[in-house]
Amino acid sequence: MQNNVLGVLKEHENKLLTIWSQILLSNGSEDGAMEEEESKEFASLFLNALAKSEDSKEFEKVEDLIVGIASSRGKRGFSPRENGQYLLSFKEAASQILSELIKEPAVLYDANLKLNAILDNMMIMTFEAFMKGREDVISRQIDEISEISTPVITVWDGIVALPIIGTLDSSRTQTVMESLLQQIVDTGSSIAILDISGVPAVDSLVAQHLIKTVSATRLMGAECIISGIRPEIAQTVVHLGIDLSGITTKASLASALQTAFEMLQLTVVKRKRIVE
């Protein structure tokens, strides 16, 4: 009886769509023709499945569709609340029609329970799809930012520099090492400068990451210089008892570059202007 009662909603599909559209508009949704087409497709598939059985494989098509709609709406700028409101509005419209069709309170109550159970499960799926989409976007952005924030620059023949900006954690250290070592191989550089001027703070963990990077660089046959050692960083390193005595450190990138020139036995001389 419950299945048959829910199945009669198919006979009132156009009316349901009209009420649903009105509710969406009253909630501030203004996505136009695209939303209207999505709504028609969803309502048609959903009501067909209801007319057959809630256990029908037709509901798999409905679930795939609503996940796709949730993902699409997320990309178009809809919030999780608006995504949820999309199905809540459909539920409200369907319940309104059921109230007009069913006069027996017990039957109406059971029908609404069944309808709510189905739509609530789909609503959970929309949130999961929305969050997965957001996580994918965030993960991609993290990778992009990581690549942008770890550029290895060839500052001179045989000298590369890597300015590090932001916190240095285990994952980022791996990216830093891979970028630096690859650039050393590609350019045949013998000196690498790690500039930590943009690192907000250095603790024992950050220091260990730096030491690992220096060790990996040396294994590649290159010498490593750490620049950007500010007074507060120097005090922290001493306070924590971190041993950086085996590593060449400089206060600025300019000082590190000058040291690199000396190690390569290079001299930069300012050319005198010739007056004609």
Calculate what percentage of the chain has a pLDDT beyond 90.
24
Check whether 137 has a pLDDT greater than 80: no
Per-residue pLDDT at 64: 87
> Which residues, other chains included, contact 69 with Cβ-Cβ below 8 Å and sequence gap of 6+?
38, 42, 86, 126
Q: Which residue has the higher pLDDT, 162 or 150?
A: 162
The answer to whether 186 and 175 have CB atoms below 8 angstroms apart is no
Strands (E) in 35-190, as ranges, are 153-156, 159-165
Lowest average pLDDT, out of 43-57, 105-119, 255-269, goes to 43-57
State how far the Cα of 14 lies from the Cα of 147, in Å rounded to an integer.
52
- ∠ Cα 230 145 153 (to 5°): 60
SS3 197: strand
pTM for the full predicted model: 0.53
Query: pLDDT tens across 160-199, in order?
Result: 999 888 777 777 778 788 888 999 999 999 999 999 888 8
Least confident of 29-43, 206-220, 224-238: 29-43
- Residue 160, CB half-sphere, CA atoms under 13 Å: how many? 24
Q: Are 190 and 214 in contact (CB under 8 A)?
A: no
pLDDT in tens, 42-87: 888 898 888 876 556 778 888 888 888 887 777 777 777 877 888 8
Among left, alpha and beta (phi > 0; psi -120 to 50; other), residue 168 is beta
Q: Report the pLDDT value the prediction gives residue 3, as an integer from 0 to 100.
A: 47
The amino acid at 274: I
Residue 152 has pLDDT above 60, yes or no: yes
